Structure 1
């Protein structure tokens, strides 16, 4: 299918070689020499992308950009200009341009901008598929090795990476192959856990992974300072690695990630068991003994996680952490908003 381009420049006649170059590549190019004509032409016909000169008589490039974006917000617009002034760049970026090119431009710069704005998904999909095809055999060979707990975490990280990358791929065949590899990995990992789990929870052997009941002691407690410096622990229930990878770029706008890693949940992985183990720093059987009446069995009615604050404070005391602490449970959006309004107070555990 032909790609339709609108190019607006008051010196469009001088750009005729560029237009011919694009047409030879199979692109359909319409040209105008002022901003008003660009707005009118964009209203008459659907375009896949618009090239816009910043400095045109009459309606300026920035004014033209604003009108086009108001009428066609999803059409990518590439600003082409002689100006390198910072405020012009900032205004154009604020106007949601898709690319910014400085004159003089050569035909290959235009071609690259087209591919970047119109063909990125296809090109990334093809590259991802090709990369996974090369990696597939290596992953299969690793699945055949005798892996330890750290190897399994690394393999899981790799599979999640490919799952996320192939989720945007147009090649569904590769996605099916990855699903088959996931199934094989899940089967082998289940056998691995069944073989070693009893040793892990009893602290036997050299290959003992970080588990739910050890997480706070090993990863959080060392960060607790007794000089009053605040520390926030945010525990998100049932957060998988693929979900974290999706959230990471969003949180990265506000925070710098200094360390990240995986841990093994105790079994059962249900909230009643695993989350209580994190807060208490104990296995469920130990919680039941140390906090009689606080552990709610599966066949009993009532909240199974109603005593997490008590478990947390008890763990802090056992670890010798003489600090003020508060616990806040968010179960809905409104509760989250209310807590966010109190963040300044929480820095002193008010």
Structure 2
């Protein structure tokens, strides 16, 4: 449609067809958008389908009229992060198509990544979405444009947030900010997979004594398996809050507290450690209170942990927070600390 005359002609044609099919319609209103033109555009598709077992699944690949023939698709379960999206794109045939070739500039990969992240957020927050197709999604050096989209929805009576998903999304609502007595700005937030290097550096900086208090064994460095375990978590069953500040323009971890739900579904086991140079600044107290508030909000009843009997700073902290301290039968080196969250 290239002119005002064409717009008028097509409007009249569509209006007549609609009134023939629906005689009771007296007035037809239409929305008109600019024609999208891109000499360097690549046609991709983004799809979402709700699996009865795994929940929503997001796919990306080559799009256009030959999408079924090309059968180019990479699939992942939301919530997606930037790393996961980049890996999805790299697995498709479209990955080469997006690079510069002949006289075409490289496509704007960042815009495509952001689009997939937005789709991930949408299907995570809206359980009503059963299916979604964006085809074609035009990607060029300037950005992206959804030329055609279809969404299939149903009324949702879901009461528990994210129960339609296998993996719970990153809980942005739990991020908080405050200031240390020293004037340093601190962010306490749930850990992310991207924090792997920062978590490894944090443990590396701990003294031998602090490492022993935290892990109850001699430990020099986190193994790759431990790094993954500590940073890639299921936010429904467990949580890990890290205290982060900026130092020389880079994020620096000052402390971390975490809990994991026990098999009984009513109690959690917690762990806490603060950097040696930050003891006495209230970071541990703040992390513990944040952990307990989160557990209580999720309907959990008991907050529990095992502490070395010689770990006097930790025992002092839990006493201040109202924990009871109990001996562990047959083990004089460890005590059990318990807090009833219902009180």
Normalising by the residue count of structure 1, what TM-score does the alignment of the two structures yield? 0.24
Identify, as 1 or 2, the structure richer in strand. 2
Larger Rg: 1
